[in-house]
Structure 1
Amino acid sequence: MLILATLLVAQLVSFAVVWAVPSPAAPQMSLLDAVQVMGGRAAAPLGLRRWSQANAPAGVDNDWMSAVAAAQLQVPRARVRTVWRRTPDPAVVQVQVIKQGQLLQTGPEQRATVEQALLLPGLRWPAFELAVQQPDGRWSVVGANHSELLQWRRQVLLALLAGAVLLAPPAAWLALRLTRPLRRLADASADLSLQASAPLPMEGPHEVQVLAAAMNAARERLRGQAHDVTRMLAAVAHDLRTPLTGLRLRADSAPPAQAARMVADIERMNAMIEQVLDYARGELEPPVLQPLDIVALLDDCVQSARGRGVVIIATLPAELSWHADALLLRRALDNLIDNASRYAGAVELRVARVGQRLHLEVLDRGPGIAAADRQRLLQPFQRSETSRSRDTGGAGLGLAVAANAAHRHGGELQLLDREDGGLVARLIVAP
């Protein structure tokens, strides 16, 4: 409605200016100037122009002016026509000639002739055309250097300019009213994720509010579907533990060589199931943020990793408290440490407070991750090509578990190149 109203006002302003402002009349002309231009004098300085055409100008010939012009140009009267572009009132013409003729009085008994009055330099008429037929039959015409089409174009441009000036403030207000809510909606949707709980802002015009409501509803539906899939995945992983336990018992009765391979496969499957369950817990269980000693948590992770045979060096401060979910951070760090150990052997752990955020970094000297694969590997069940082997392959959930933990803490997981080679997995935790 606002756009339609704006267009309607623009049209009304244009029509009003076009019809209210009268078109400027053509400049007045002097018969003496027209005769002189026809005789060869330059036309432009006098505000006149000269052209040639096939036919005589249309209109009623003015006998007085044509006779005077024929006499001055020394051509037959029949070959001269003087036509008003807009016929003036004849009475006004006669009065004006008489008044101009009276100015030529040189004595009480002598009056100017009409011919003399018509040739006075000061006697100017509304625009007319003086035409003389040439020997070849064409007509040479002298008229005012004035274009009604040009004046009409100027008037239309004036109308458009006036409309633009009048409509600029409401148009700017309308644009801001539409774009500000859209910009806020775009900024809010840039960080949109299934884990985010804050709804998108529903403000501004009705259409923008409908869009925000549709996006909020779509996110809720997708979140519900994702949770359903995660619950199903967790249930399947949990149920797989029972047959694996039976296989483990049967493996003990198998020949030693085969039993060792069976036990290794079962342990590998158990590890993958545990990763799936960790991911499902991180997706389904809400974070429990509470004050905790980060240094004690990291030291526990280091000791547990060393118990698993991981070579790890930790650079930890003396004390550092933070609000976080200890279980989520522990799962994330264990996965990052195991990933680094699997590909690089030795692992380094660092922690630092940067502004209002906590940086937990797991560093290694392994082959690293190509920049094109980093965003993809943060998604569940994604593995790099170097993890396809039996020794290093996994379920592709380690980085997804860590990324989910970071998101639950209002941060993110960054995979960066380490100076002199290797990878830095930086887990950022917001307060």
Structure 2
Amino acid sequence: MKIWGAPRSPLFLRVFLLMLICVGVVQLMNVALLIAVQSPAARLSTVGEVADALVRGTDHTGMFDVERADNLESFKWNPRAERLGLAIATALRVDPERVQIHFPTPFLQREQVYNRAGIPTPIPPASVDAARTAVVTGDFVAALRNQDGSWTIVRSGGFEPWRWFVLLWLILSAGAVAPFAWTLARRLTKPIAAFAEAAERLGRDPRTAPIPIEGPAEIADAASAFNRMQSRLNRYVDDRATVVGAVAHDLRTPLMRLGLRLEGAPETLRTSCEGDIRDMEAMVAATLSYVRDTNAALERRPLDLRSLAETVIDDLSDRGAAVSLAPGDPVVIDGNSAALKAMLGNLVGNAVKYAGGAEVSIFEDVDHVRIEVEDEGPGMPPEDLDRVFEPFFRGERSRNRDTGGIGLGLASARAAARAHGGDLTLRNREPSGVAATASLPR
């Protein structure tokens, strides 16, 4: 149970204790292995057993591995090998030149080199029986050259029981340490995953709930810093939106005074200036709407995106626009109905305005939904495909508000998509036309 106000233990201390526990468990397993394992006995074979395997070319006891080879690698001289090779040759009643024996160098050890000049020549066993009773200790490789020049090779084979025991013990040790290792990895990665998820939520909704301040001291401090950063970002955006909105709102008063002062102006001048004033008032209204829509907290709830698109399409069709929606199943997402409807209205409206019609399609991916609005118009210059999302940028260069608009429609549409955690992009179609793709999370 967590006590309110109790100091949090640092993550460093928790990880350190877990590592100590892992090391302690491994050492306990090693001590137990030292106590439980039997002292390994040396592998013992007699010269007679080796000679029989060389003669038969097979071994039915399972003690040796027997094979035939056309060539045999050369071995460095060893007094022990020379002595036992002489015993094997005596047991087989063959020339010692036909017998070779070698003792492999143990792992991580250097092969010993002997000076033959200082060692006397060994004496052959007195009899065959004496030769057959000689003992071969440890691992070895014995070879007999056959009459056809090939070699019969006998190797001490098999995995000794004590080695199997140690291998099994190592596996059990790894199994005993695995839960602690998993816990350690979980402790290290869980905060990272939590911060990644929080960053994803913040990208989708800047007004999302802050991260709970819990866990080790380092994680709690990082969570507090993340929440402060989120709060500062929201204040910065709110302050900027407030200033822009206030400026746009206050412009209405001087515009109204200009209109009143023009009452006594000549007709031609008054008509021209009143048109400019109406344009400025429309821009002010559009700016206020843009600021309000892009900074308002969106209330989301499950909705059928296809039904929402049908509403927009039906409304434009009733006005005589050539728009269509590809048929399909209902697509349910969490979203704000008003914001998504305005986004679709902007995209389809632009297609109708500049290309005379639009085709709308909705596709479902694993974790996203794609809305594509395609037209068959003249397309756009490649350098404008991203710039058109900038506020007040108009692809129509005439600066005529009737043909180019205010320049906030696509900026508002992208803001709505990004407020839902998605995005909006444009691309040119082949051979002509523009496709707008809105990607929204499920």
Q: State the TM-score, normalized to the length of structure 1.
A: 0.53
Q: 1:390 matched to which residue of 2? A: 399
In the alignment, does 2:219 pair up with 1:168? Answer: no
| Partners of 2:81 and 2:101 within 8 A in 1 | no
In the alignment, does 2:283 pair up with 1:268? Answer: no
Change over 3 Å in CA distance of 1:51–1:285 after alignment to 2: closer
**Partners of 1:23 and 1:396 in 2: how far apart?**
87
Equivalent of 1:241 in 240, 245, 252: 252
Residue type at the aligned position of 1:44: I
Change over 3 Å in CA distance of 1:185–1:372 after alignment to 2: farther
Q: 2:391 matched to which residue of 1? A: 381
- 1:349 is displaced (CA, Å) by 8.7
| Partners of 1:348 and 1:362 within 8 A in 2 | yes
**Partners of 1:247 and 1:122 in 2: how far apart?**
125
Q: How does 1:51-130 map to 2 (within 5 A)?
A: 51-53=113-115, 72=123, 122=133, 124=135
- 1:280 is displaced (CA, Å) by 1.6
In the alignment, does 2:196 pair up with 1:186? Answer: yes
**Partners of 1:326 and 1:32 in 2: how far apart?**
92
Q: 1:224 matched to which residue of 2? A: 235
Q: 1:109 matched to which residue of 2? A: none
Q: How does 1:290-329 map to 2 (within 5 A)?
A: 312-313=321-322
Of 44-53 and 170-179, the range deviating more from structure 2: 44-53
In the alignment, does 2:83 pair up with 1:35? Answer: yes
The secondary structure found in structure 2 opposite 1:193 is: helix
**Partners of 1:28 and 1:277 in 2: how far apart?**
96
**Partners of 2:257 and 2:296 in 1: how far apart?**
30
**Partners of 1:70 and 1:354 in 2: how far apart?**
88
Change over 3 Å in CA distance of 1:334–1:47 after alignment to 2: closer
| Partners of 1:347 and 1:362 within 8 A in 2 | no
**Partners of 1:166 and 1:348 in 2: how far apart?**
64
Q: 2:20 matched to which residue of 1? A: 5
Q: How does 1:336-347 map to 2 (within 5 A)?
A: 336=347, 339-340=350-351, 344=354, 346-347=356-357
| Partners of 2:201 and 2:208 within 8 A in 1 | no
- 1:175 is displaced (CA, Å) by 3.4
CA deviation vs aligned residue, 1:249-275 (integer Å, no higher than 9, x gap): 455655666555544443333232222
In the alignment, does 2:250 pair up with 1:199? Answer: no
- 1:235 is displaced (CA, Å) by 0.3
**Partners of 1:243 and 1:210 in 2: how far apart?**
50
- 1:236 is displaced (CA, Å) by 0.7
The secondary structure found in structure 1 opposite 2:253 is: helix
- 1:237 is displaced (CA, Å) by 0.8
| Partners of 2:211 and 2:223 within 8 A in 1 | yes
Change over 3 Å in CA distance of 1:287–1:260 after alignment to 2: same
**Partners of 1:47 and 1:301 in 2: how far apart?**
89
**Partners of 1:332 and 1:18 in 2: how far apart?**
70
Q: 1:104 matched to which residue of 2? A: none
Residue type at the aligned position of 2:20: A
**Partners of 2:44 and 2:439 in 1: how far apart?**
84
**Partners of 2:338 and 2:80 in 1: how far apart?**
107
CA deviation vs aligned residue, 1:334-372 (integer Å, no higher than 9, x gap): 654664466x163559799999x9999876543446789
- 1:5 is displaced (CA, Å) by 2.9
**Partners of 1:37 and 1:326 in 2: how far apart?**
93
Counting matched residue pairs gives 341
Aligned-residue RMSD, C-alpha:
6.1
| Partners of 2:377 and 2:434 within 8 A in 1 | yes
| Partners of 1:178 and 1:205 within 8 A in 2 | no
In the alignment, does 2:293 pair up with 1:278? Answer: no
- 1:422 is displaced (CA, Å) by 3.1
**Partners of 1:227 and 1:26 in 2: how far apart?**
82
The secondary structure found in structure 2 opposite 1:52 is: coil
- 1:411 is displaced (CA, Å) by 7.6
- 1:157 is displaced (CA, Å) by 8.7
| Partners of 1:360 and 1:428 within 8 A in 2 | yes
Report % sequence identity. 27
The secondary structure found in structure 2 opposite 1:44 is: strand
Q: State the TM-score, normalized to the length of structure 2.
A: 0.52
Change over 3 Å in CA distance of 1:24–1:217 after alignment to 2: same
CA deviation vs aligned residue, 1:291-335 (integer Å, no higher than 9, x gap): 9x97998599759x97xxxx744669xxxxx99978756765665
